[in-house]
């Protein structure tokens, strides 16, 4: 070690010794700082928490209470116990509406996911027209259900339906879409896919934009074809997006009401009713708020369990890139 090096080290040690040692702040000061941070956090979160309590948690607790009572919206409430829940599992129309809702979900959710992914996959190759096509796909998403119903009522009208005319051109007799119990749920599913595909396209395009280009190039070097790259690279990267869209689509499908009410009003036949339609009919037409609340609670629990099962199953097929 040279003399200059020793001298520099001694100067550095002397400077370090000359600096005052920083004592850690006392515990009282730390507690006061954390308390101030908590107060600021509650101040910013307060409006949202109040809204959550007033408009979500409060009504949920009140609906749970109403489900054990008989109440017409006026006068006193009488205790019904589990009578309203017994009504749910014994009424034949509730069973039909629940079956219709499940069948609608089975038809609509895979149709939405598949059509949204295919459209997004090809839109990425549209070049400068991508933005235009994206707007066209998303337009039904922001269109009111009244306008959508007017369009599809014309398309489903058996007398003037262009769909039936096209089927007649190939020798197929078109059905009465909204009155035939075999096709009415399919009709609602078609409308739901057409109306909701825009949101799916936007989400899938965002997911496809996040697929690392390096992985695609590595697959090309390994000699993978288009299908192999889609199955082994693109879909695993998109699995979180698919999970999110499947959960939200199932929840929305179980809660469908608008299209049934706008197309068929309050006289929807038995084979076209959904579970939320039954809640509205029983609650706001028959004024049986206890029974309607019991159906709503069962619907909430069903969606909660179904969502929980999907989140548990994600460990087997959802890939999260680090």
| Domain around 260 | 83-317
Per 3-state DSSP, what percentage of the chain is helix, strand, and coil (rounded to 5)? 75, 0, 25
Alpha-carbon span 114 to 240, nearest angstrom: 15
Residue 65 within any structural domain of the chain: no
**Is residue 1 assigned to a domain?**
no
Domain of 90: which CATH number? 1.10.3720.10
How many structural domains are present in the chain?
1
Q: Please, are residues 254 and 302 in contact by the beta-carbon 8 Å criterion?
A: yes
Task: Specify if 251 maps to a domain.
Answer: yes
Model confidence at 7: pLDDT above 80: no
Q: What is the pLDDT of residue 272?
A: 92
The per-residue pLDDT for range 270-309, each reduced to its tens digit, is 899 999 999 999 999 999 999 999 999 999 999 999 999 9
How far is residue 9's CA from residue 260's CA, in Å, rounded to a whole number? 84
Q: What percent of the chain has pLDDT over 70?
A: 91
Confirm whether 44 is domain-assigned. Answer: no
| CB 120 within 8 Å of CB 204 | yes
Q: Tens of pLDDT along 69-102? A: 999 988 889 999 999 999 999 999 999 999 999 9
Please tell me the distance from the alpha carbon of residue 256 to that of residue 191, in angstroms, as a whole number.
Answer: 11
The share of the chain scoring above pLDDT 90, in percent, equals 43
* Distance (Å, whole) CA 237 – CA 318: 8
Q: Are 297 and 88 in contact (CB under 8 A)?
A: no
What is the sign, positive or negative, of the torsion defined by CA atoms of 306, 309, 311, 315? negative
CA separation for the pair 184, 188 (Å, rounded): 6
Cβ atoms of residues 119 and 137 within 8 Å: yes
3-state secondary structure of 223: coil
In 3D space, the residue among 3, 20, 1, 23 whose CA is nearest the CA of residue 11 turns out to be 3
Q: Euclidean distance between the first and final Cα of the chain, in Å?
A: 47
Q: What is the pTM of this model?
A: 0.83
> Does any domain span residue 66?
no
CA pair distance 116, 194, nearest whole angstrom: 10
Examine residue 119 and state whether it is found in any structural domain, yes or no: yes
Residue 188 lies in a domain: yes
Residue 45 lies in a domain: no
């Amino acid at each position: 070690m040279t003399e200059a090096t020793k001298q520099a080290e001694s100067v550095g040690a002397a400077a370090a010794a000359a600096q005052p040692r920083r004592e850690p702040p006392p515990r009282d000061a730390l507690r006061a700082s954390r308390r101030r941070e908590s107060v600021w956090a509650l101040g910013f979160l307060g409006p949202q928490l109040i809204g959550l309590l007033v408009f979500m948690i409060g009504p949920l607790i009140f609906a749970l209470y109403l489900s054990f009572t008989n109440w017409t919206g006026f006068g006193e409430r009488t205790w019904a116990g589990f009578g309203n829940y017994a009504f749910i599992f014994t009424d034949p129309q509730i069973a039909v509406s629940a079956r219709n809702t499940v069948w609608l979900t089975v038809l609509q959710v895979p149709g939405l996911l598949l059509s949204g992914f295919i459209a997004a996959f090809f839109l990425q190759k549209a070049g400068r027209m991508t933005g235009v096509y994206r707007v066209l796909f998303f337009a039904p998403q922001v269109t009111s259900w009244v306008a959508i119903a007017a369009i599809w009522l014309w398309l489903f009208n058996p007398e003037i339906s262009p769909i039936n005319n096209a089927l007649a051109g190939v020798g197929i007799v078109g059905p009465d879409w909204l009155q035939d119990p075999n096709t009415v749920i399919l009709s609602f599913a078609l409308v739901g896919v057409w109306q909701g595909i825009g949101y799916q396209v936007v989400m899938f395009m965002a997911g496809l934009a996040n697929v690392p280009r390096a992985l695609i190039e590595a697959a090309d070097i390994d000699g993978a074809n288009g299908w192999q790259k889609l199955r082994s690279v693109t879909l695993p990267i998109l699995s979180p997006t698919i999970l999110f869209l499947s959960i939200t689509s199932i929840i929305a499908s179980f809660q469908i009401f608008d299209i049934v009410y706008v197309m068929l009003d309050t006289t929807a036949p038995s084979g076209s009713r959904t579970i939320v339609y039954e809640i509205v009919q029983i609650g706001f037409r028959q004024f049986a708020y206890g029974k309607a609340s019991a159906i709503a609670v069962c619907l909430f629990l069903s969606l909660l369990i179904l969502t929980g099962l999907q989140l548990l199953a994600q460990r087997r097929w959802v890939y999260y890139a680090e």
